Every structure is written in structure tokens, then in C-alpha cells.
Chain A
Amino acid sequence: MNIKEYRRKAESLLRDAGVAVGDSVALPSAAQVDNAGFGAARPEADVWERALSILEDKRAEPALRTAAIQKLQAGTFLGPQFRPYRARYLRTLREVALNGNSELRRSALDILANAKDEFARRLLTESLEGSIEPVVPTAVALGFLARDDHGTARSIARRVFAQSDSLDAREQAVRILASDASSKGLLEEAMKNKSEFRQVRRASAVALRNLDPLRFALTASLILDDESEFADIKASVAGAISRAGPAPGPAPIAPPPRATLRKQPKRRMR
């Protein structure tokens, strides 16, 4: 497949997932940034004040609002200097998460999810439960929720895993279940299931090894002994065993998915 065709397919998948491709934003030019009033030459307090004004302005160009988020987010690393703007920044991000365009919404939720923000958690949960319009694609929402292993995404992850055919959604669901000790059986089944997506099987193996190394080892040995098993799965499992060592590491933190941009593999049946 050439790159143009791949891009067309990816955009089609994004549209199907509810992401409006047309309103995705490119980064603003340096001139745009300077004209907006938060160029590098200005004092930081002025820059943050201006960036907040732009972010709050629903009529501002999405590209500039995105740049404003980047400026403000960089400011958060300066701790005490940024403190006077923090509360307003969080308030504005919550507003953007609710009413911004898809790209802005995603950026805002990304930041809020990292902060384990309760408003973002509720918004993502209600979005996944279907009580409001989806704010981001399912896999992305799960990925955001997965960052809080003290959260409540387990039941949603189980439901998504039971109902969704999307590779990305299933993979993110498994990553969430990697911190749930009561999901060992489900993960073991997913790891063994030859009709499951390969990525999901691998993610299940990682999750099960994290939760129960012994159970993982037993399941892995069954896979290795199975002559009808796929060679790449056997290789992955053997690699995991050889790399594993006796001690499981901390719960894996799910990376934010770039959702549906990946090519969807066919599900192979036994």
C-alpha cells in the first residue's frame, strides 16, 4: 500500500471512530505564535496570561489554542512560578475537554487524565458508558482511564473486551485489566485464544505475567507445546519467559494510544 492510500484509509477509520479529521490542527507557525502574544521573548507571566486568554476564547483558531495548551503545559513544570495560573488552567482544560474540537478535547483530556482529574474521569466514563456523546474514540478513552490504576475503569474495560471488535479498544482494555487481580482468568483465556488479535494476546500475556507469573508460565508452556499454535505467538511467549526472570515488575502503564491510525489486522480463526 502506498502512503497516500494508507493515509486515506487511516482518515476513514478516524472518521468512523468519531474523530473529525478535517478539524485536526497543524502546529501554528512561529509568526502566528508571535502575533498571538506568547512568543519566547515575552516575560513568562505575560505569556501564560495571553495563552490562557486564547485557550478560553472559543472563537480562537484551534491551532493557536493548541499552541496555548503547549505553552501552559510547559509552564506547569516551573512549579511555584506557574502556581497562580494553575487553577484557571485546569478550569479551562475541563471546559475545552467538554466543548473543544476533537483534537483540543483530546489534548485537554490527555493532560487531565495524567493529573487523575476527577472531572475528566467522569467525562470519559460517561462517554464510554454511552450516557453522553463519545468525547474521544473508545481506545483512547480507555487508554486515558488506564493511567489511574486506582480508578474504576475495570468494569468498563471488561465490558469493552466482551463487546468490542476493535483491536485498539481490546488492547487498551487488557492493559487496564493488567492491574486487576480478579481478571487473571480472563487474561489467561485471551492469551490462549487463537481467534484473538495477536497484539491483544501479547498484551494479555504481559498482563498475566504481571499479575500471576506462575499462571503465566503454565499457560505459556501450553502454548509452546501446541503444534497448531502460531509461530510468532510461540516466539513472543518464549521470549517473555526467557526475559521474565523470577520477579514481576510493576503494573504496566498503558501508553496513550494513537488509536485507530494503526492498520487493523485480520482476526485469524483456528
Chain B
Amino acid sequence: MPPPMDPDATPLPDLALAEALEALKAPGCCASHRSLLLGMLREDHAIYRGRGASESERLRAFVLAGIVRAGLAESAMPYAMEELQTGMKPAGVAAAARCARLTTVRLDGLVTLLSEAFWRIRAVDEDVDLDHYPALEAATAMTTACGELIGALGNVAGGREALRVIASLCTSQGELEEGEASALRAALAGADDFTAAPFCCARASVEDVDLDLPSGSLSALSRTEFENQDGERSQFWQIAQNRVSLVAFFYTRCDNPDKCSRTISMLSRARKAIEERLPDIDAVVLGITYDPDFDLPARLRRYGSDRGWRFDERNQLLRTTSDFGSLRTAMSLGVGYGAATVNRHRLELLLIDADGHLIEFRVRQLSNEHSIVDALCNHLTASRMAGAARE
């Protein structure tokens, strides 16, 4: 079976990478340039190919910071919010916070996201250089994730609200460090001097952000053959069997507990929630691995069992039996590969109805079981109303 990635994929040579990164120096207001820059935040972009996870993380943080400097903070917010929700490394969270710091769109829950990120990252925070790649060890403009988060809280929540949020964080986390304190003083004084290129036609644009499934995705998925945790093989349509399908992507080696492990645990809870709240719904709950060569059936079974899965024909973890690359391309999955395994992936979850139509595609956001059942309820209500109207 061919591996999901090109095993001989080598990282771009330094010169080619430098050329690609050169694009970040220009303001991002023209549509094609904006598309070029935002495309660099996709996990499968060539600049990340063949690189390790920590290297990709640094590179992506540099790219996001460059996109923010180019005046595209608002367009990059879906990426920044995913990072604020799930990022575990200071560089990525710092870049995401800088993006939030400069956006003028006030998004619901952003203050909560920023404060949760502060809580999560503070114990592992360190100096990061968002202005150079590779980072300069003695860069003068070093920053920290927590400093950027405080700056963002100051801008997003306003000085007094930021103070309240940070004060409550510090109650549980100890006193502010000097860098954090100076960032807070600046935020309170409204003296945030961080600037970027002026917003232009790029303002509030979302069309370049990869939040949709390409057409043909579900038919490609339907035709794909999978092997489950017991080694049984079937095509997707045979597994779904005209039932509502809840599908998420993951891989067992994911080292971010807020991504795959959390997703698979959530799916097992979602199964119970569906059974309790929608007992008449015939649904399958499926997890598909990004790393089918490594995630063999026994490994899938163990991973699911450790996260509360009760396997049966309606609850399965799956690996492709042939070329995962085809499915990845057809569905434009947000996953990149390093030398041996995934180096980064986005959160991707699909709700598909019994007729094989997409109910909802959730991307770059954490889901919980309640919101999934709510989405199913809404879909059923809408379907019944549409049916009644037809009659």
C-alpha cells in the first residue's frame, strides 16, 4: 500500500523557501496576492512539506505574523482562532494573538479564547522571534505568547476589561512577569504601538480561507475503501448504509491533546448524546486516520478503547486501504506531512445526512457533543418542515 505521503518528499531548498517567504514582505491588498499569502497557511502548502512538526510550527508562526504585517489580520482570523483554541507552542500562539490584536472585527468569544490560551500556554512560554525565519537567537524584537495575548486582550476587550480578565487569570496563576506587566501597562494606557500595513480591499475578506469542502468530496469519500479497527474492509457507502454519518479525521500519533485525542473522545460522547436525545436517528460515528500506514487496525482499536469507544458497526475507526493521497486531494484535507508522519493538521468534522448530502462541515474549530446533536436536531426539523411543505 502506498504511504499517504510521498516518502521521499524533501523540504523546499533554502533558496526556494526564501523566495516563497519573500511574498510576505508586500502588503496583501490585491486579490491574487492575498490568495497567495493566505494559501501559505494551509497545512499542505509546499513550504511545510517534509519538515518536522516543531519546524513547521515555527515557520507557520512566522508566516502568520507576516500575513498580519501585510494587513490581512482579519482574513487570517479563522487560522488564528484555531491556534488560540488548540495551540500548544509559544510561537504559534504568539502569532495568533498578534493576529487577534490587530483585527477590527469583534468576534464572539474572542476574549474567552485569548484568556484560555493565556492559561494554557503560560507554563511553557518562552521568547519567540516572529520576525525572522529561522529565528535569530539574539533577535532584538523577541516577544512572548503571553505578552502578545495581553496586548490582544487590551485591544479586544479594552483596558479595564483586559485588566479584569488578566487579574482573574493571575489569581490562579501567580504574579505577572516583567514582560507581561509592561504589555499590560501598554494595553491599559491604550498605547499599543504595534502596527501593520493599512487594511485595504483585503478587509474582512473570507473567500480565500479554506472553510469549504470542494465539490466531489463526498462522492470521493463514498467510493473509498476503508479497513476498520477489526481489519474488516468496506467502502464508505457500505459502512454508512444510508444513515446519518458523523465523520472526523485524526491520527493516533497526534501529540496535541486538544486535537485528535479530544476529538475522538468527543465522538464517543457524541454517540451517547445522539442515542439519548435522538433515539430514532440511525447514525454512524466514524473516525478516519490521516496516517493509515502507521495506524493499523489493532492500534486504532486500542486508541478508541482508551477514549471510551464501544466499537460496533455504527462506531468505527477507519484507515484507507489504498492511496490516502487521493482522498486527501479530493477532499482538500488540511493535513501536511513531515518525514515520517503528519506535521500539522486542521480540525475537520463532517455531518452527512442519510442521502449522502453534507449537513455541516466544521473546520478549524473544536466541537462538542451537544452542538453536534443540536445541528442534527436543526437538520431534522428543517427536513420535516420541507417535507410537510411538499405534501
Interface residues of A (CB under 8 A from B): 79-81, 83-84, 86-87, 90-91, 94, 116-119, 121-122, 148-155, 179-182, 211-213, 246-248, 250-251
* Contact residues in A for B159 (Cβ distance below 8 Å): none
19 contacts between A and B (CB under 8 A): A80-B122, A80-B173, A84-B177, A87-B126, A118-B54, A119-B135, A121-B54, A148-B52, A148-B54, A149-B341, A151-B54, A151-B338, A152-B338, A179-B340, A180-B339, A181-B340, A182-B340, A247-B301, A248-B296
Task: Tell me the minimal C-beta distance from A175 to chain B in angstroms.
Answer: 12
Chain A CB within 10 A, most for which of B54, B126, B134, B177: B54
Contact mask B288-306 → A, CB, 8 Å, 1/0?
A: 0001011010110110000
Give A91 to B128 CA distance when docked, in angstroms.
Answer: 11
Decide if B253 touches A150 in the complex (CB within 8 Å). Answer: yes
Residues from 285 to 325 in B contacting A, C-beta threshold 8 Å: 291, 293-294, 296, 298-299, 301-302
Residues from 204 to 240 in B contacting A, C-beta threshold 8 Å: none
Give A87 to B123 CA distance when docked, in angstroms.
Answer: 11
Interface residues of B (CB under 8 A from A): 3, 7, 10-11, 50-55, 57-58, 122-127, 134-135, 137, 144, 173-174, 177, 253, 255, 291, 293-294, 296, 298-299, 301-302, 338-343
* Contact residues in A for B173 (Cβ distance below 8 Å): 80
Give A81 to B174 CA distance when docked, in angstroms.
Answer: 8
* Contact residues in B for A91 (Cβ distance below 8 Å): 127, 137
Known A119-B137, A213-B298, A246-B298; judge A87-B125 contact (CB<8 A).
yes
Decide if B7 touches A248 in the complex (CB within 8 Å). Answer: no
Decide if B55 touches A152 in the complex (CB within 8 Å). Answer: yes
Give A179 to B106 CA distance when docked, in angstroms.
Answer: 44
Task: Tell me the minimal C-beta distance from B131 to chain A in angstroms.
Answer: 16
Give the residue of A86, A94, A152 whose beta carbon is less than 8 angstroms from that of B52: A152
Give A121 to B255 CA distance when docked, in angstroms.
Answer: 17
Give A152 to B339 CA distance when docked, in angstroms.
Answer: 5
Decide if B340 touches A154 in the complex (CB within 8 Å). Answer: yes
* Contact residues in A for B298 (Cβ distance below 8 Å): 213, 246-248
Decide if A150 touches B343 in the complex (CB within 8 Å). Answer: yes
* Contact residues in A for B293 (Cβ distance below 8 Å): 181-182
Give the residue of A118, A121, A180 whose beta carbon is less than 8 angstroms from that of B340: A180
Decide if A247 touches B294 in the complex (CB within 8 Å). Answer: no
Decide if B54 touches A116 in the complex (CB within 8 Å). Answer: yes
Decide if A151 touches B58 in the complex (CB within 8 Å). Answer: no
Task: Tell me the minimal C-beta distance from B309 to chain A in angstroms.
Answer: 15
Decide if A79 touches B52 in the complex (CB within 8 Å). Answer: no
Give A149 to B294 CA distance when docked, in angstroms.
Answer: 12
Known A81-B174, A83-B177, A247-B301; judge A150-B53 contact (CB<8 A).
yes
* Contact residues in A for B255 (Cβ distance below 8 Å): 150
Decide if A211 touches B54 in the complex (CB within 8 Å). Answer: no
